[in-house]
Amino acid sequence: MAADTCRGVAAADRVGLVLNTRQSRTTEVSDSVVVAVDPQTAYERVGDVTQMGRWSPENTGAVLADPGAPVSAGARFVGSNVRRGFRWQTECVVTAAEPGSRFAFAVRKFGIGKPLLPVAIATWEYRFEPVDGGTKVTEIWHDDRAKWPDAVVSIYDRLVTGKRGFAEFQRGNIRRTLDRLKSELEAEATSA
């Protein structure tokens, strides 16, 4: 598919694609960037969820349920977020922790001061693939609100994002996250 095409355009450093559409809404978007570091280094940085706020335009940090333990599948953390002045927290569960290859987590609770409302919101996934010049990092957002009616989603998404839907909004967030990640990791690599 389009992701395979990206290998031939590695010099362009990125490719964006929409993967899955459900009726009237897109439920999955992704984008990629080539970062001049090895896959393990990229994985270690992204897998440290306490640092995600350094790259994400919305996340301001995270606290692991068990800060001393390695982050592995099943680990839980609370993410702090802000959008347009509105602050909230989410409880997330790590669903994949494959060093140098793949990291993913599912957002499963939402709340203003504390994530209390159990609701499947989204799954975020990061893939790390060795390519010429470093690592192709792919960030994927999947809308886990499958039980929400499309009409409700349409109204809600416009209110909270100012866009036609979360897919359009997340495309921009993913691009900004990847650009910031690339910039920071490559700056660190050249200063080391």
Regarding beta strands 25-35 and 134-143, do their DSSP bridges make them parallel or antiparallel, or are they unpaired?
A: antiparallel
Query: Is the per-residue pLDDT at 9 higher than 90?
Result: no
Q: Is residue 40 part of a domain?
A: yes
pLDDT per position as a tens digit, 108-140: 999 998 999 999 999 999 999 999 999 999 999
The candidate with the shortest Cα–Cα distance to 107, out of 95, 97, 98, 99, is 95
Mean pLDDT across 50-63: 95
Helix axes 39-47, 166-191, angle to 10 degrees: 120
Percent of the chain past pLDDT 90, that is, above it, reads 78
- Mean of per-residue pLDDT scores for the chain: 88
Q: Is residue 192 part of a domain?
A: no
pLDDT at position 46: 96
The CATH number assigned to the domain holding 164 equals 3.30.530.20
Residue pair 36/166 in contact by the 8 Å Cβ criterion: no
Query: Is the per-residue pLDDT at 3 higher than 90?
Result: no
Q: Return the minimum-mean-pLDDT range out of 42-46, 76-80, 162-166.
A: 162-166
More confident residue, 85 or 128: 128
Tokens of 96: 């994949």
Query: Is the per-residue pLDDT at 8 higher than 90?
Result: no
| CA separation for the pair 157, 178 (Å, rounded) | 23
Q: Is residue 97 part of a domain?
A: yes
Residue type, 185: L
pLDDT at position 33: 98
pLDDT at position 68: 84
Residue pair 144/129 in contact by the 8 Å Cβ criterion: no
pLDDT at position 23: 53
Domain that holds residue 183: 2-187
pTM above 0.75, yes or no: yes
If one counts the domains in the chain, the total is: 1
Q: Is residue 158 part of a domain?
A: yes
pLDDT at position 192: 73
Given pLDDT bands bounded at 50, 70 and 90, which one contains residue 20?
very low
